Amino acid sequence: MRKMNKPLAAALIAATVLSMTACAQTGTASVPGANLTTISNVNTNTIQVSSTEGVKVVPDMAQVNFAVLSQAGDPKACQENNSKDTSSVIEFLKNSGIDEKSIQTSSYGLEPMYDWNNTGQQITGYQMRTSITVSDLPIDQVGTMLSSSVEAGINCIDSVNYLSSKYDENYREALKKAVEAAKVKAEAIAAASGVTLDGIAHIEEMNSYPNIRYSTAVKEDAAAGAKSVVVEPGQIGVEAQVTVTFRVK
């Protein structure tokens, strides 16, 4: 058997040890999902956890999305009718005390209407839709505004989004709860692993989408008549998610 000189053997052993160490340091154990828990390699001495917490709030504001839909035999007449009805609705909203900055005509659309038969499609007329968004509306005015807007010319109520003017305050409360919950989880993991927490090494706030997460949407039937509009906003939730890395010893 051919003998290997001592310097070369030592170099090979050192390379093997370094390779094994590098592999060990890249390995983590994780649980998939929103509340992710990662136990890092002992060489880094950290435990990473993610936590999501929320609070319930009674909304005090609303955003209403509705539209004026007009139909006519030719596009010009359709546009004129829609413009007239839309102007009447906007004037009504302003006279109702709604700030002009809270009224937005968000989209327009003019398209032909077709009648399908054995010979193909035939244009029977045109329809135009103008969408209007009213924001920052006090919750106690929503029912009255919806009823009156139908009488003023609104014939499509797309949705009512309930919001809170105290979003920042409630989000901070949810954020605090998320951090506290993360610490409780990390303490349980540390105790089961025979170590103790030694402060926070890193904390990351996950992205929040208040327009999506902090509202509930309902649809109202404009054709049902003014007397049928009843507003029951209930409660809405705000959530916060954090990922915290704790040092352990």
pLDDT of residue 75: 94
CATH code for position 143 = 3.30.70.2970
Domain of residue 50, residue span: 29-59+164-249
Round the average pLDDT of the chain to a whole number and report it.
78
Whether residue 21 is predicted with pLDDT greater than 70 in this model: the reply is no
Note whether residue 1 is domain-resident. Answer: no
Predicted confidence band of residue 208 (pLDDT cuts 50, 70, 90): low
Last residue of a domain, one of 135, 163, 191: 163
Looking at the structure, tell me whether residues 176 and 145 fall in a common domain: no
**Final residue belonging to a domain, choices 147, 163, 179:** 163
pLDDT band at 2 (very low <50, low <70, confident <90, very high): very low
Q: Which residues contact 133 (CB under 8 A, 6 or more apart)?
A: 63, 64, 65, 103, 104, 106
| Residue 88 is assigned to a structural domain of this protein | yes
In this predicted structure, the answer to whether residue 54 has a pLDDT above a threshold of 60 is yes
Same domain, 145 and 82: yes
Q: Are 91 and 51 within one domain?
A: no
Placement of tokens 């609070």 in the chain:
55
Mean pLDDT across the stretch 166-174?
Answer: 90
Split at pLDDT 50, 70, 90, the class of 192 is very high
- On the question of pLDDT at 225 being above 50, the answer is no
Q: Are residues 143 and 191 in the same domain?
A: no
Same domain (yes/no): 154, 65 = yes
Both 88 and 138 in one domain: the answer is yes
Listed in sequence order, the residues at least 6 apart from 203 whose beta carbon sits closer than 8 Å to its beta carbon are: 179, 242, 243, 244, 245
Say what the pLDDT of residue 231 is: 60
* Domain annotation covers residue 34: yes
Phi (first) and psi of residue 5, to 5 degrees: -70, 155
Is position 37 within any domain? yes
Q: Please tell me whether residues 170 and 54 are part of one structural domain.
A: yes
**Same domain? 73 vs 98:** yes
Residue at 5 is within a domain? no
pLDDT for residue 144: 84
H-assigned helices in 153-238: 167-193, 210-213
Give every CB contact of residue 107 below 8 A, 6+ residues apart in sequence. 129, 130, 131
In a shared domain, residues 168 and 190 = yes
**Domain tally for the chain?**
2
Residue 12 lies in a domain: no
Output the pLDDT for position 32. Answer: 36
* Tokens 């920042």, residue located: 168
Q: What's the angle, vertex CA 248, arms to CA 245 and CA 249, rounded to 5?
A: 165
pLDDT at 210: 55
Per the model's pLDDT, the better-predicted residue between 219 and 127 turns out to be: 127
CA 39 vs CA 24, 245, 249: distances in Å: 13, 10, 13
pLDDT of 36: 53
d(CA 98, CA 112): 34
User: Do the Cβ atoms of 142 and 156 come closer than 8 Å?
Assistant: no
Q: What is the predicted pLDDT for the residue at 180?
A: 95
Residue 220: pLDDT over 80: no
Q: What is the mean pLDDT of residues 2-14?
A: 41
Give the tens place of pLDDT for each residue, 115-165: 988 778 889 999 999 999 999 999 888 888 888 888 888 999 898 888 888
Question: How far is residue 173's CA from residue 237's CA, in Å, rounded to a whole number?
Answer: 12
State the CATH number of the domain containing residue 55: 3.30.110.170
Please give the angle made by the CA atoms of 108, 109 and 115, to the nearest 5 degrees. Answer: 160
Name the pLDDT band for 43 (thresholds 50, 70, 90).
low
| Structure tokens given for 24 | 């060990």
Beta strands of the chain (E only): which ranges? 29-31, 37-39, 46-57, 61-72, 103-117, 120-138, 156-163, 197-205, 216-218, 236-248
Distance CA 248, CA 194 (A): 10
Q: Is the pLDDT of residue 200 over 80?
A: yes
**Which residues sit opposite 105 in a β-bridge?**
132
Residue 6 lies in a domain: no
